[in-house]
Amino acid sequence: MNNVDIRIMQRELEKLKAERADGDRKTGGDHTGGGNPPEGGSMEARVAKLETHVEYIRRDLDTMSGDLKEVKGDLLSIKRRIAYFSGAGFIVVGIVGWILNNRFDQIVALLATTPK
């Protein structure tokens, strides 16, 4: 970043601060609807509603926790399978390489005499 970029960013920041300050002066700066609670109602009703929402959130988190344990188990199983198949593949490639190395002359002779 050069100095020109920084100056432009500082100028834009000052504009945003000025706009925000103007908006606060126009609305009183409290953003609560003129002292009334949002959606009206008493404090007890709003707290009861929040408690209900928290219960649902808690239930959903418990469900997600169980699902996460299941996913972890599946991931462990997949890791084990990958390790097994990579090891088995390595062994198969080694055996095929050994056979080709020991029988290379026979394989070349066989391929050379194959009729076309």
Q: What is the pLDDT of residues 10-65, one digit of tens each?
A: 888 888 888 877 665 555 554 555 556 666 667 888 888 889 999 999 999 999 99
In this structure, what are the phi and psi dihedrals at residue 57, rounded to the nearest 5 degrees?
Answer: -65, -40
Burial of 26-46, coded b for 16+ CB within 10 Å and e otherwise, reads eeeeeeeeeeeeeeeeeeeee
pLDDT at 72: 93
pLDDT at 47: 87
pLDDT at 105: 81
pLDDT in tens, 69-109: 999 999 999 999 999 999 999 999 999 888 888 888 887 88
d(CA 116, CA 109): 15
